[in-house]
Amino acid sequence: METFIMGRMAKFIINGGKPLKGEIEVAGAKNAALKIFPAVFLTKETIRISNLPVIEDVLRSEEMVKVLGHEVSRVSDRAVEINFKTPKCVDLPEGLVNKFRASVMFIGPMLARCGEVSFPHPGGCVLGAGTRPIDMFLHGFEKMGAKVEIKENRYRLTAKKLKGATIFFHDVTVTGTESLMMTACLTEGVTILKNCAMEPEIPALADFLNSIGAKIEGAGTPTIKIKGVKKLGGGEYRLIPDRIEAGTFAIMAAASKSSDVLIKNCEPAHLEALWWRFDKIGVKYVLGKDSVRILPTKNFVACDVTTHEYPGFATDLQSPYTVLMTQARGSSLIHETIYDRRLLFADILTQMGANIIMGDPHRIVVNGPSKLYGRKLISPDIRAGMALIIAALIAKGRTEIDNIYQIDRGYEKLDERLRKLGADIKRLA
């Protein structure tokens, strides 16, 4: 844990141009871990979580569970056991809520358990503004009978008793789907969620909740039906492999052109949109049952991408793919449909030598191949930060990446793991 706390001040120094060779294991999925911690409020029995990645966002979730009164015991590096205590309070602390957007996941289970919850806007945005709204969550809770008030920059939700409802999401939302699905487990009556997200972490969570007594049908499809039950039991939730980490490593190996990397402990079926593109552009790879091997590919061609909800091309893979396209022959249009600010990092790539034309906040054109050069950079966010590491690994010369707390949020001991593949990367405190 200490390494990561130090990591807030730390930077990565990378000397690019080394071919990567060997094996790398994929950790448990961050975006599955961030949902199971809030889910413990749905039961009074013991929950064990295994295959946990040791990353900042998980440590923050663990902290939140403790602050809210539960007992968390570390069983091993990768497993914790959580025991129910009567929740201490219904106020999510601002200091923690501001640190990670996924704190929003605690609202529904707290409301279902305590009948009340109060919190500031997640991620530190000002109320009503910001780029990551929570209107669909609030609308869903209201339909289930909760009263929503906004007072002194905090939301306060109250409900004597929640009741089943039919809720339509006007846009596909991953955490919104998961949040209302969890809340409905202890809500009297039947809840039907329509236009749901279908990301693999959602059926994984539903399967676990069903294994401890919930009655959820249809998770992984656009319509989810939940029949409320009086209580849930205890059990073990083993996280599925992180598909974004697996896809990122695959892109990283492909981008360096001379790498031969075996990515182990992954679920290749979760990345069909990426394999389809690899086929189209000519990257060579071999899929195994729970692995993928990326073979050296000297030349590949450009191919457009439009980010899309699962099973489409994940927005979380857009930034690594953009780096890959700087090494491809031809022009590719990168169309980011989910977030407004996720293409801004392209400007940093141009400082490294990439030829990128900014169309508007949602579209860029990458002209490749370009030689990249090491620079002093600041990691803007978790996925863009990881993309900059890929760029630095293939660039000529030395790159310094600051603000790597943003990378530690989602990738466990990245420097150590990349060094095992032959990368010249070190962490400076």
Q: Shortest approach of ligand EPU to residue 100 CB, angstroms?
A: 8
Beta carbon nearer to ligand EPU, 202 or 281: 202
User: Is residue 102 within the footprint of ligand EPU (CB under 6 A)?
Assistant: yes
**Choice from 24, 39, 174, 392 touching ligand EPU (CB under 6 A):** 174
Alpha carbons 237 and 110: distance in angstroms, whole number: 20
User: CB of 114 within 8 A of CB of 46?
Assistant: no
Displacement of CA 169 from its chain's centroid (Å): 20
User: CB of 225 within 8 A of CB of 216?
Assistant: yes
Nearest Cα neighbor of 236 from 397, 373, 49 is 49
**Choice from 103, 173, 332, 399 touching ligand EPU (CB under 6 A):** 173
**Choice from 112, 136, 196, 252 touching ligand EPU (CB under 6 A):** 136
User: Is residue 196 within the footprint of ligand EPU (CB under 6 A)?
Assistant: no
Site size for ligand EPU (CB under 6 A): 22
Beta carbon nearer to ligand EPU, 33 or 391: 33
Alpha carbons 161 and 108: distance in angstroms, whole number: 13
Q: What is the DSSP string of 22-72?
A: EEEEPPBPHHHHHHHHHHGGGBSS-EEEES----HHHHHHHHHHHHTT-EE
**Choice from 40, 64, 68, 134 touching ligand EPU (CB under 6 A):** 134
Q: Shortest approach of ligand EPU to residue 62 CB, angstroms?
A: 15
Alpha carbons 144 and 115: distance in angstroms, whole number: 12
User: Is residue 60 within the footprint of ligand EPU (CB under 6 A)?
Assistant: no
Tokens of 299: 């030349």
User: Is residue 387 within the footprint of ligand EPU (CB under 6 A)?
Assistant: no
Beta carbon nearer to ligand EPU, 67 or 338: 338
Alpha carbons 387 and 39: distance in angstroms, whole number: 31
**Any idea what DSSP says for residue 391?**
H
Tell the burial category of 146 from Cβ atoms under 10 Å away from its Cβ (0-12, 13-18, 19+): buried
Q: Shortest approach of ligand EPU to residue 21 CB, angstroms?
A: 28
User: Is residue 124 within the footprint of ligand EPU (CB under 6 A)?
Assistant: no
Beta carbon nearer to ligand EPU, 164 or 385: 385
Tell me the per-residue interface mask from 215 to 254 with ligand EPU, x by CB under 6 A, - otherwise.
Answer: ----------------------------------------
Beta carbon nearer to ligand EPU, 16 or 38: 38
Nearest Cα neighbor of 399 from 323, 342, 343 is 323
Alpha carbons 302 and 140: distance in angstroms, whole number: 42
Beta carbon nearer to ligand EPU, 197 or 393: 197
* Piece of the chain touching ligand EPU by CB under 6 A; list 41-49, 135-143, 147-155, 317-325: 135-143
Active site residue 125: yes
Q: Which of 89, 125, 185, 196 is catalytic?
A: 125
Nearest Cα neighbor of 63 from 87, 18, 19, 93 is 93
User: Is residue 382 within the footprint of ligand EPU (CB under 6 A)?
Assistant: yes
Binding residues among 34-53 for ligand EPU as defined by CB under 6 A = 34
User: Is residue 267 within the footprint of ligand EPU (CB under 6 A)?
Assistant: no
**Any idea what DSSP says for residue 156?**
E
User: Is residue 137 within the footprint of ligand EPU (CB under 6 A)?
Assistant: yes
Tell me the per-residue interface mask from 307 to 336 with ligand EPU, x by CB under 6 A, - otherwise.
Answer: --------xx--------------------
Q: Give the list of residues 6+ apart from residue 262 with CB closer than 8 angstroms, or none.
A: 22, 23, 24, 291, 292, 293
Helix (H) or strand (E) holding 176: helix 174-185
Beta carbon nearer to ligand EPU, 125 or 365: 125
> Binding residues for ligand EPU, per CB under 6 A?
31, 34, 101-102, 132-137, 171, 173-176, 197, 315-316, 338-339, 382-383
Residues labelled as active-site residues? 125
